[in-house]
Amino acid sequence: MTCVLACDLGGTSFRATLVDARGRIRAESVVPSPATFVRSGWSEVDPHAWWQTLVEASASLAAAAPALFDAVQAVAICGVTRSQVFLGGDGEPLRGAIMWNDSRSARSAARLAAELPKEHPESANVSAFHPLARLAWLRDEEETTFRKLAAVLEPKDYLNFRLTGRQAGDAISMARLLACATPTHGTDLMSRVGSSAGVLPPVLDPCDAVGTIVAGHAAPLDRLSGIPVFCCSIDTWAAAAGLGALKPGVAFNISGTTEVLGVMSRHHALADGLLSVDWGGLFQLGGPSQNGADTVRWLLSLLGRDATSDDASTGLAVEALLARPRHPQALLFLPYLQGERTPYWDADLRGAFIGLGRQHQATDLAYAVLEGVAYLNRVVLERAEAALGQAVTEIRFGGGAASNTAWRQIKADVCERPVVVGACSQPGALGAALVAWTGLGRFDSLEQAQDELVEVAARHEPDPARAARYRRLFDLYRRSEASLAEISHGLVALPAED
Task: Please state the φ and ψ torsions of residue 244, each to the nearest 5 degrees.
Answer: 75, 30
Summarize pLDDT for 105-135 with one digit per residue, the tens: 999 999 998 899 989 989 988 999 999 999 9
DSSP element (H, E) containing 284: strand 283-288
Distance between CA atoms of residues 456 and 472, nearest Å:
31
Give the CB-side neighbour count of residue 80, counting CA atoms within 13 A: 30
Distance between CA atoms of residues 496 and 201, nearest Å:
41
Summarize pLDDT for 460-490 with one digit per residue, the tens: 999 999 999 999 999 999 999 999 999 999 9
Task: Return the HEC string of 174-233.
Answer: CHHHHHHHCCECCECCCHHHCCCHHHCCCEECCCCEEEECCCCCCCCHHHHCCCEEECCC
Determine the distance from the C-alpha atom of residue 70 to the mean position of all C-alpha atoms in its chain, rounded to a whole number. 31
- pLDDT of residue 40 exceeding 80, the answer is no
Please state which architecture CATH assigns to domain 235-422+463-498. Answer: 2-Layer Sandwich (3.30)
Distance between CA atoms of residues 134 and 102, nearest Å:
9
Distance between CA atoms of residues 17 and 4, nearest Å:
8
Share of the chain above pLDDT 90, in %: 85
Total-model pTM: 0.86
- CB burial of 293-315 (b: ≥16 within 10 Å; e: otherwise) equals bbbbbbbbeeeebebebbbeebb
- CA dihedral (310, 313, 319, 324) positive or negative: negative
* Residue 381 contacts residue 262 (beta carbons within 8 Å): no
- pLDDT of residue 185 exceeding 90, the answer is no
- pLDDT of residue 416 exceeding 90, the answer is yes
pLDDT for 215:
97
Distance between CA atoms of residues 139 and 125, nearest Å:
20
pLDDT for 24:
96
SS3 478: helix
Which residues is 19 bridged to in the sheet? 4, 25
Q: Where do you find CATH 3.30.420.40 in the chain?
A: 3-233, 235-422+463-498
Report residue 498's pLDDT band, with 50, 70 and 90 as the boundaries: low
Summarize pLDDT for 204-213 with one digit per residue, the tens: 999 999 999 9
pLDDT for 41:
83
Out of 176-180, 312-316, 347-351, least confident range: 312-316
Distance between CA atoms of residues 179 and 48, nearest Å:
28
- Could you say which of 3.30.420.40, 3.40.50.1000, 3.40.50.300, 3.30.360.10 is the CATH number of the domain covering 3-233? 3.30.420.40
Pairing of strands 228-230, 209-212: antiparallel
Mean pLDDT of 69-86: 96
